[in-house]
A and B are shown apart, each in its own frame.
Chain A
Amino acid sequence: MDPSSVLEQTTQDVSNLPSEFHHILNEIRSLDTEIYDVRKKTSMKDSQMQKYIKQNGSLSVYSKEEEFTDKIRDEISHCKKLQMKKCTMANTALFLVTKHLAKLEKSIIILEEDGLLAPLEDETD
């Protein structure tokens, strides 16, 4: 083991990482737009219901209350599913980079123990 072989190995390991990040973040964005569109509809319905309460109080029933309630529930649940997908994707990106980082740090420790790695450059230099 020496710095050049570790460098070579790590460079190869992470060579596809930038494009993977790009891909994952792009997918997150496209899901985000999808969520945004659904949420816009939801909040419109919700505010319509709230406006009715403001004017007439909660004891009288809004004519479309049942229909709206079901729809809003469905929409938020759908968004939640999409959001969980986003979380999984973000976690994957984090996991990938952390795994490579952990592997590299392990190698650095071994190299340092063998005295094969030049020490960190002083910040003040």
Chain B
Amino acid sequence: SADVVGGPRFRHRKISVKQRLRIYKPNDLKNLDQEELQQRVAADIETGVEKNEEKEVHLHRILQKSSGQLSIQKKDYIPTPDASETWKEFGQFYQGNFDEPASYIKFSATVEDCCGSSYIMDEVDDTFLSEQINNKKQPLLSEDEFELLCSSFESAIHERQPFLSTDPQSILSLDELKPTIIKSDSNHQSLKISLAKDIGFSAEKPIVTEFDAESQSKVRSLTFLLEKFGDQLYEHWKSRKIESSHTEIFPKLKFERPDEKEEVDPYVCFRRRDVRQPRKTRRIDILNSHKLRALHEELEHAQKLALLVAKREQVSLNLLEKELQVFDERGEFKKLKRALSIKEDDELLINPKSRRLNIFA
């Protein structure tokens, strides 16, 4: 039966009509050796897993062994992970609903776009916030605001002092850092505020997109928070920053430095070795310049249309809000009129004729 096991790869051939096939009758089957029957099946069928999965280390070993026709009787097996346990607090951390859209999802935003603040409070921050800042009955600073401030410190220091780890004590003071913080646009916040202005919001309020959590809308503006809590929080953050190794408060992935090859350290990941060579000419790249300008123009057109759509939806929302308000006020008005038996001004309760032009009519 050894030759039946066959080579590592069995090529599927169509069954030829000319080839004679042996036919077993049902009563023959009983007499066939069970083992032989199984091997027959094994020889005729492919391994049954996908080609790339045949490379899985344990499976590969088993396949090779059977192909090598070794008679070692030691049983090989493929280890499988056990059924993972459920996590009790899952429901607490994963909340919310996702409504399925009518058509397939189209999406290209990055993880960072959807994460909000880059700084995430840990236990140390939590204790500091509740004991040092919010020690009175009413919370003064929310967790989101705490994180907003810290991420802006983080990005500002990164910009101003990229080599802070060489001399952590030389870290800038908050006053020196403030201009950078105010200028920086963390999380596109100022872009969102200016878009809100374009749409027609009077207050300095950013627009809300699908990437923003609802809770973010309660966060007060960065300049206000800096004024009120900046000093206190900066001292806390600064001390953490100085004490941390490599002046990174949170664990980071380890990357290869540009122009360096690191082969030994097992923690170095995602090496990028492709280097773009500059063109060997000083001439201006006319063709690509024009293409770039054309693309710029098209994007501008797209932006204009998108702005108009956003405006239209905002106007529709305002209209609905007003309508609800008018409806409520009419109800109140009716009640008052009846209580005081006033007969006049009924026309205020009826939509004027011109409103019949309304799209809903």
A83 touches B299 (CB 8 A): no
Residue of A nearest to B338 (CB): A59
B50 to chain A minimum Cβ distance, whole angstroms, is 29
- The number of residues on chain B lying at the interface, defined by a beta carbon within 8 Å of a beta carbon of chain A, is 64
Contact: B295 with A11, CB < 8 Å? yes
Tell me the minimal C-beta distance from A28 to chain B in angstroms.
7
Q: How distant is the Cα of A4 from the Cα of B290 in the complex, in angstroms?
A: 10
What's the least CB distance linking A102 to chain B, in Å? 6
A73 to B331, CA, bound (A): 11
Q: Is B24 an interface residue (CB 8 A)?
A: no
Spot the interface stretch: B34-42, B75-83, B97-105, B158-166: B97-105
Contacts of B306 in A (CB 8 A): 21, 90, 93-94, 97-98
B108 in contact (CB, < 8 A): yes
CB within 8 Å of A: which B87-121 residues: 101-109
B324 on the interface (CB 8 Å rule)? yes
B71 at the interface (CB under 8 A from A): no
Docked CA distance A58–B210 (Å): 45
**What's the least CB distance linking A93 to chain B, in Å?**
5
* B-chain residues with CB within 8 Å of residue A90 when the two chains form the complex: 306, 309-310, 312-314
A42's nearest neighbour on chain B, judged by CB, is B360
Chain A interface SS verdict (over half): helix
Q: Is B84 part of the contact surface with A, judged by Cβ < 8 Å?
A: no
Which residues of B in the span 7-65 have a Cβ within 8 Å of any Cβ on A? Answer: none
Q: What's the count of A-B pairs with C-beta under 8 Å?
A: 183
Q: Report if A104-B296 is in contact (Cβ < 8 Å); known contacts: A54-B350, A59-B337, A72-B327.
A: yes
- With known contacts A3-B289, A97-B299, A91–B209 Cβ distance under 8 A: yes
The residue on A at minimum CB distance from B188 is A99
Known contacts A53-B349, A95-B195; A77/B209 CB under 8 A? no
- Chain B residues with CB below 8 A from A53, complex form: 346, 349-350
Q: Are B324 and A101 in contact (CB under 8 A)?
A: no
Query: Given the complex of chains A and B, what is the CA–CA distance between A58 and B191 in angstroms?
Result: 50
What would be 12 A-B contacts, judged by CB atoms less than 8 Å apart?
A: A2-B279, A22-B106, A23-B105, A23-B106, A27-B102, A46-B351, A50-B350, A61-B338, A79-B320, A88-B208, A90-B312, A95-B207
Binding site for A on B (CB under 8 A): 101-109, 188, 191-192, 195, 199, 207-211, 276, 278-279, 284-286, 288-293, 295-296, 299-300, 302-303, 306-307, 309-310, 312-314, 316-317, 320-321, 323-324, 327-328, 331, 334, 337-338, 341, 343, 346, 349-351, 360-361
Q: Taking A2-B288, A7-B292 as given, write out 18 further A-B residue pairs in contact, using a Cβ cutoff of 8 Å, ordered by the A residue number.
A: A3-B292, A10-B295, A20-B108, A21-B302, A24-B106, A30-B102, A58-B337, A58-B338, A69-B331, A76-B327, A77-B324, A84-B317, A89-B313, A90-B313, A94-B195, A95-B188, A108-B292, A117-B284
